[in-house]
Amino acid sequence: MPAGLVALALGGFGIGLTEFVIAGLLPQVSRGLAVSEVAAGWLISGYALTVAVGAIAVTAATARLPRKPVLVGLVVLFVIGNLLSAVAPNYPVMLLGRVVAALCHGTFFGLGSLVARRLVPPERASRAVAVMFAGLTVSNVLGVPFGALVGERWGWRATFWAITGIGVIAAAAIATLVPYWAGEVPAGGRAGKVPAGDRTDSLRAQVSAFRSTQVWLTLAATALGYGGMFGAFSYLAYTFTEVTGFSSTDVAWLLVVYGAGLVAGNMAGGRGADHNRDLTLIVSLAGLTATLIAFGLLASSPAASVVLVFLTGVFGFASVPGMITRVTDHAHGVPLAAGANVSASNIGNALGAWLGGLAISAGLGYTAPLYVGAGIVLLGLAVMTYAAVRQAHARETHSSPNSARSPDRKASM
């Protein structure tokens, strides 16, 4: 495994910790800064909203710069944000620290996925992306318990000091271990795919990538797949305690089981996508739909719930490496498309959580978000299936001896 991939995974681990760790610290932060639980909650939602916007804005602003220095700079920004959170004398400074840290999130994973792909042969591209995202999935497993443990022993500020230290190590690792050539901006993109003289960082190439129907279909499938999973995940604690009968102290280890599923699904999905990407994506979304439905039906069974929450993580993250390589391939490697994929996932997360909350508010019970999530993922499955069929048809038409090129250029992009 290239050392540069390990360095990128370490960066992803630190950024993932920043996103997830706050959930276990909210009560302490709320008391320490003398703010309400609702205000403290904005440290989570404000982060997510900043990721959604920053993934596009920061990626567009840095598109013409060499990617390795940008990645190092993003991790430095991450360090500054967490340092602000660690020393925050009041709530506004704490929120500012969260926003600053979030600005690096989407662009880091977007650009990082492009750099990771260049460190391995083309046939291992999705697996390389999966390795980079392994840091994020591991942080999902460790984030809440890590934050709770450190915060309980040494206070919530110590958690952010620890994450700041991880960021410093990650920045040094990326600067040292990621080869500069892997972060160079390609000129001309893939042969025959970008107009002569056009660079993948130019404004023309950035915008023209979004003329592809396949790019939009992949972004839609990403948003719906993430949205369905997150709509269910957001209320799992209530499902476990109010339906399954677990105690509130059991929720932490149950979420670790879910996180272990994310890790397994991420690696399996990367390997599968390198073998047959569209089939892997369709199977992942179909598996997630079936799992969420089964979870809703069997939520009263503790044993079934443990198995199904693991499978939710497996199928929920198995599509991530393939979705990223798919959207960047159809966008000819432009960074803005990679950033848009991260934005799409965060928009989906917000949509899924909102719809799941509406279902509970309507009195449909704490299993309702599971069925709502299944419905959202089913829409994503339909979009992905349509995209795969459309692409297969375009390839057949393009390879036909009676046709020199596909009549639907958008579908083949």
SS3 340: helix
Closest CA to 312 of 244, 245, 376, 257: 257
Report how far residue 372's alpha carbon sits from residue 369's, in angstroms, rounded to the nearest whole number.
Answer: 5
Q: Do domains 1-185 and 198-413 have the same CATH topology?
A: yes
Report how far residue 359's alpha carbon sits from residue 348's, in angstroms, rounded to the nearest whole number.
Answer: 16
What fold does the segment set 198-413 form as a domain? Growth Hormone; Chain: A; (1.20.1250)
- In DSSP notation, 354-407 reads HHHHHHHHTT--TTHHHHHHHHHHHHHHHHHHHHHHHHHHHHHHHH-TT-SS-S
Report how far residue 279's alpha carbon sits from residue 385's, in angstroms, rounded to the nearest whole number.
Answer: 9
Cα-to-chain-centroid distance, residue 172: 23
241 class by beta-carbon count within 10 Å (0-12 exposed, 13-18 middle, 19+ buried): middle
Q: 331 near 208, Cβ under 8 Å?
A: no
Closest CA to 55 of 190, 174, 219: 219
Q: 24 near 49, Cβ under 8 Å?
A: no
Q: Return contacts of 24-30, CB within 8 angstroms, 24+ apart.
A: 24/143, 24/144, 24/145, 24/147, 24/148, 24/151, 25/147, 25/148, 25/151, 25/156, 25/159, 28/151, 28/155, 28/156, 29/94, 29/156
Neighbours of 345 (CB within 10 A): 25
| pLDDT recorded at residue 24 | 66
| pLDDT recorded at residue 405 | 45
Report how far residue 73's alpha carbon sits from residue 65's, in angstroms, rounded to the nearest whole number.
Answer: 11
Q: 352 near 229, Cβ under 8 Å?
A: yes
Query: What is the pTM (predicted TM-score) of this model?
Result: 0.76
What are the angstrom distances between the C-alpha of 275 and each of 270, 281, 305, 358? 9, 11, 31, 39
Q: Which two tokens stand for residue 301?
A: 């069974």
Tokens 């909210």 identify what position? 26
Neighbours of 61 (CB within 10 A): 12
Q: How many CA atoms lie less than 13 Å away from 308 in the CB half-sphere?
A: 26
CATH number for the domain formed by residue range(s) 1-185: 1.20.1250.20
Report how far residue 115's alpha carbon sits from residue 160's, in angstroms, rounded to the nearest whole number.
Answer: 28
Q: Which two tokens stand for residue 24?
A: 């276990």
Q: 296 near 367, Cβ under 8 Å?
A: yes
Extents of the domains making up the chain: 1-185, 198-413
Spell out the per-residue pLDDT of the chain, length 413, in tens.
Answer: 778 888 999 998 998 888 877 766 777 788 888 887 667 777 877 887 888 788 888 887 887 788 889 999 999 999 999 999 999 999 999 999 999 998 888 889 888 888 888 888 888 888 888 888 888 778 777 766 777 677 777 888 998 999 999 999 999 999 999 888 766 655 544 433 433 334 555 556 667 777 889 999 999 999 999 889 888 887 887 888 889 998 877 877 887 888 889 889 988 998 898 889 999 999 999 999 999 999 999 999 999 999 999 999 999 989 988 898 898 888 877 777 777 888 888 788 778 878 888 888 888 988 999 999 999 999 999 999 999 999 888 877 766 555 544 444 443 33
Closest CA to 134 of 308, 267, 30: 267
